[in-house]
Structure 1
Amino acid sequence: MSTQTPQRPASPGLRMGRPFGIPVYVSPTWLIVAAFITYTFQPVVANSLPGRGTLTTYLVAFVFAVFLYVSVLLHELAHCVMARYFGLPVRRITLYLLGGVSEIEREPETPAREFLVAFVGPLLSLGLAGIGFAASMVIPEQTILHVLVWQLWFSNAIVGVFNLLPGLPLDGGRMLRAGVWKLTRNPITGTAAAAWFGRGLAVALVVGTLGLSLLPGQEPDWGSLLWSVLLASFIWVGASQSLQVAKVRARMPQLQARTLARRAIPVTPEVPLAEAMRRAREAQAGAMVVVDHDGHPTAIVNEAAVAATPEHRRPWVTVGSLSRTLEPSLVLPADLAGESLIDAMREAPSGEYLLVERGGDVYGVLVTADVNRVFSGV
């Protein structure tokens, strides 16, 4: 159940360790599903271990829940190790209510790499399932060891098979995306196709489970229906987010710093705001850059601070008091475009950035609000 979502809350849960140098967190929501799995799986354990006490069977059922999440962790680690092999940065792994998320901060550059990063997770899960199944054939039945080994291969089989379903955000969806990307040579088309398959899969999962429970002579299985609704919700939301990402990426070609830049006028820090605004109107400029007396830029006047200053105070407020010091991260090359521009802005969030030519000359000011308008309505 893997997605690539680079932006997550700073504290996703309890940190469990750093296998292969990758931080692993467990969300508190895991306790909810662990309790649910323990409760629903206990009757299965009781049938497999006749004569065992209720406490023992609940304990073994809880171990199954732990095995399931260990399987998910190994699955996600496979994605991350393969991603690192291709030079992709990995932020962390988070185990949560319905599985796990590998936060891979950049997408693979080719369809083949996309396919391999996605496929290695289910491949590992199914490989572990095969090993566990073979081991369970030689271990005596109706023993705790047999039940635990059976749980191990069964949990990995669940993780592997489920993630091969062809729809985003599942790994099968990423593999489908890679295939469509290869055929069309367009990753956005691949994302859209795999996301719509994901939505269809979510609907089919609920309708199919509901249809089976309504067959003549069948008692409604409310537990299975609840699981199908939860899983379908996970798939639908993930697919919808992928469609949103595809729409954003489709507008990336419009994102060019030069095109979006505002003309800026230089002002010294002691100039009153009212006077600076008058000069900007005369020059038909949309931004103001604070310079020292040698003409070197030192700060950018903050547009939000200007708008928040009442008109009657503007003759008495200097532009220097409404400006942000120009840190190196706020000075960007004027030829930045697309994802490179977004990455540079993400590294140093600000309302304005100074754009400079290769030789260091000021080209203009890039305002974050202007960038956001490119994606308005997506």
Structure 2
Amino acid sequence: MSTQTPQRPESPGLRMGRPFGIPVYVSPTWLIVAAFITYTFQPQVAAELPDRETVITYVVAFVFAVFLYVSVLLHELAHCVVARHFGLPVKRITLYLLGGVSEIEREPETPAREFAVAFAGPLLSLVLAGVGFVASDLLPVGTIPHVLVWQLWVSNLIVGVFNLLPGLPLDGGRMLRAGVWKVTRNSGTGTLAAAWFGRGLAVVLVVGPLALALSTGQEPSWSMMLWSVLLASFIWIGASQSLRVARVRARMPQLQARTLARRAIPVTSEVPLAEAMRRARQAEAGAIVVVDHEGSPIAIVSESAVTATPEQRRPWVTVGSLARTLEPSLVLRADLSGEALLDAMRGAPSGEYLLVERGGDIFGVLVTADVNRVFSGV
């Protein structure tokens, strides 16, 4: 399973190396699927190697699980190498329960590049399948190398073909997205189309094997149904996440610091909170900025701290005691918008930011809660 996403946990697992300068991690969940593959593949190994001891057949099955994840790693590296060729930053690769994740931190700028990055993984898997098919014919039947190579080429063929299915978060879904993006000239439309295809694919993965078994009068294989449900769940969750991302991006034009800003009044730090709030109401302002005696801003009064202060104490509490010192990262340009604004806020999480004009004049205060309301319901 292969996807590309910039959002993963900060501690993804055990670090294994840096091929092509890209950190590779293995999640502890890999041990679960390695054990499952070993257990389910061992009977087939035993049947093809009848003269081998049971312990040996389990070892061969485990080696197959390791080699399969090496194939997955090569699949993900193909995505990353092509992405870096286009100048896209790659954070890391993580191998986990259902395959691998390439963490590409920025989306390609054009549909053609999106298609190329997505297609690189399945293409490499199919190439590995072809090489393995040829190699299996050159190895003696009934030997451990033949068993491993045969299963690996079949597995790479399955991985390559499966990832070409047209639905996010699979590579084929990203290729479909690129195609719709090219036709409509709208990446959001491409994401919506590919995500809904992904949801449909998830339903087919569960219903299809069950319907096939019932139509032939056979009992569904528990292992096949387990894999179907796992894969369908992964695809459904990934497609749903893509839909949310598309909705968020659709609201990006509304994200303008200047439009969302609250008018602010300047007060010195020794002014009582009650008096500062009176001045704010009189000026129809929604924020309070603490300034020094020369009028330069030095802090922003926290809205949450004001709310938490009982009304009877407000005449005795100074605004300076409820303010956060203005670090440089909390001072943003008033003309920021879209992802540039979000990136600036992510770089310095806070409840409030001071907005200034290019000349340094105070424009107002941006409250994080107001930004969050733009995306409410997404």
What TM-score range do you get, normalising by the shorter chain? over 0.9
TM-score of the superposed pair, with normalisation by structure 1: 0.97
Q: Deviations over 1:111-148 (max 9, x none)?
A: 11111111111111111111111111111111111112
Match of 1:36 in 2: 36
Q: Determine if contact 1:79/1:118 at 8 Å carries over to the other structure.
A: yes
Residue 362 of structure 1 aligns to which amino acid in structure 2? I
Match of 1:339 in 2: 339
Q: Determine if contact 1:3/1:170 at 8 Å carries over to the other structure.
A: yes
Residue 154 of structure 1 aligns to which amino acid in structure 2? V
Match of 1:325 in 2: 325
Residue 127 of structure 1 aligns to which amino acid in structure 2? V
Match of 1:65 in 2: 65
Match of 1:360 in 2: 360
Match of 2:208 in 1: 208
TM-score of the superposed pair, with normalisation by structure 2: 0.97
Alpha-carbon offset, residue 366 of structure 1: 0.7
Residue 17 of structure 1 aligns to which amino acid in structure 2? G
How high is the sequence identity, in percent, across the aligned residues? 84
Match of 2:376 in 1: 376
Q: Does 1:77 align with 2:81?
A: no
Match of 1:249 in 2: 249
Q: Does 1:143 align with 2:143?
A: yes
Alpha-carbon separation, structure 2, partners of 1:88 and 1:298:
38
Unaligned runs of 5+ in 1: none
Q: Determine if contact 1:15/1:25 at 8 Å carries over to the other structure.
A: yes
Q: Determine if contact 1:71/1:159 at 8 Å carries over to the other structure.
A: no
Alpha-carbon separation, structure 1, partners of 2:365 and 2:70:
50
Q: Does 1:25 align with 2:43?
A: no
Q: Determine if contact 1:71/1:155 at 8 Å carries over to the other structure.
A: no
Residue 179 of structure 1 aligns to which amino acid in structure 2? G
Q: Determine if contact 1:67/1:151 at 8 Å carries over to the other structure.
A: no
Residue 33 of structure 1 aligns to which amino acid in structure 2? V
- What root-mean-square deviation, in Å, do the aligned CA atoms of Structure 1 and Structure 2 show? 1.3
Q: Which moved more, 1:185-194 or 1:155-164?
A: 155-164
Q: Deviations over 1:270-307 (max 9, x none)?
A: 21111111111111111111111111111111111111
Residue 264 of structure 2 aligns to which amino acid in structure 1? A
Match of 1:260 in 2: 260
Q: How many residue pairs align between the two structures?
A: 378
Aligned partner of residue 88 in structure 2, secondary structure: coil
Aligned partner of residue 299 in structure 1, secondary structure: strand
Match of 2:230 in 1: 230
Aligned partner of residue 215 in structure 2, secondary structure: coil
Q: Determine if contact 1:111/1:182 at 8 Å carries over to the other structure.
A: yes
Aligned partner of residue 265 in structure 1, secondary structure: strand
Alpha-carbon separation, structure 2, partners of 1:311 and 1:6:
45
Alpha-carbon separation, structure 2, partners of 1:321 and 1:350:
17
Alpha-carbon separation, structure 2, partners of 1:348 and 1:90:
22
Alpha-carbon separation, structure 2, partners of 1:363 and 1:370:
16
Q: Does 1:91 align with 2:91?
A: yes
Q: Determine if contact 2:209/2:220 at 8 Å carries over to the other structure.
A: no
Match of 1:239 in 2: 239
Alpha-carbon offset, residue 153 of structure 1: 1.9
Alpha-carbon offset, residue 52 of structure 1: 0.8
Residue 50 of structure 1 aligns to which amino acid in structure 2? P
Residue 130 of structure 1 aligns to which amino acid in structure 2? G
Q: Deviations over 1:197-224 (max 9, x none)?
A: 0011111111111112213343421111
